[in-house]
Amino acid sequence: MKAVALTHYLPVQDPKAFLDVDLDKPSAAGRDVLVAVKAVAVNPVDTKVRAPKDKVEAVPRVLGYDASGIVEAVGPDVTLFKPGDAVYYAGDITRPGTNAEFQLVDERIVGHKPVSLSHAEAAALPLTTITAYEAFFDRLGLDRDGADTGRSLLIIGAGGGVGSIGIQLAKQAGLVVLATASRPETSAWVRELGADHVVDHRGDMVAQVRALGFEHIDSIAIFNDMRHWETAVELIRPQGGIVSIDDTDLPMPMAGMKMKAASLH
């Protein structure tokens, strides 16, 4: 089968950064499904995995997380899928990735592709959706079925991949969503996705949020960067929760979190 792989972690401009390779077509065993890949997506994590470093792979490494495709074959222990099923998934970093004609994936991390979406559309969803879902429902402990209806959620960086999915999940859960955006196009986009209020993260967010009638916010998601940390601490309610997916290498004063007994995830 054909695949795109690497052996050396080179700058992306290097003509040898990615290699067209021919590999043996894998066979399904155990709980693996063999997927004929129809579409893939590229995420920030893909660029981080292949970032330049001295490591050399003895065998070409196939990268890639997100994919959509058709089940070609199943292992003897598979119970959830059958050949011909349309599926989508975020893969497993410890195994060969999605940038190939065929890929083995454990059925337990695979989902049936939504019938309303094309393969290209479905491939864009898995990793961003999983990230938003885990941030809200696993880390912050919000109830996905509506028990927290009416609670406020501020999504900082709402127009990006995770944020745009997060708005939709939060609205399905009944939350009041405040979304940050700085450009007219992004503001229109987050409103179209269901945001109840839009805040400009290039301005005074505390003043804007309070002008909307919110003294504090029940939960806050930081989906772009930690420059807004002190703003989030100022706005979070006592015993509220903040979740972030960004690197935490910027200063993060914790005194305000301690005073409010707030949590960071």
Go through the domains of the chain in sequence order and give each one's CATH number: 2-123 (3.90.180.10), 128-264 (3.40.50.720)
Q: What is the pLDDT of residues 186-243, one digit of tens each?
A: 999 999 999 999 999 999 999 999 999 999 999 999 998 899 999 999 999 999 999 9
Q: What is the DSSP string of 40-104?
A: E---HHHHHHTS--S-EEEEEEE---EEEEEEEEE-TT--S--TT-EEEEE--TTS--SSBSEEE
pLDDT score of 248: 80
State the 10-residue block means of pLDDT for the chain, 265 residues long. 97 95 97 98 91 95 96 98 98 94 98 98 96 98 98 97 97 98 96 98 97 98 93 98 90 95 97
pLDDT score of 250: 87
Question: Cβ(15)–Cβ(55) under 8 Å?
Answer: no
Rounded Cα distance, 110 and 102, in Å = 15
pLDDT score of 14: 96
Question: Cβ(50)–Cβ(26) under 8 Å?
Answer: no
Alpha-carbon distances, residue 122 vs 69, 104, 112, 129, 132 (angstroms): 9, 18, 10, 11, 16
pLDDT score of 246: 86
Classified as helix, coil or strand, 37 is strand
pLDDT score of 247: 81
Report which residue type is found at 233.
V
pLDDT score of 44: 87
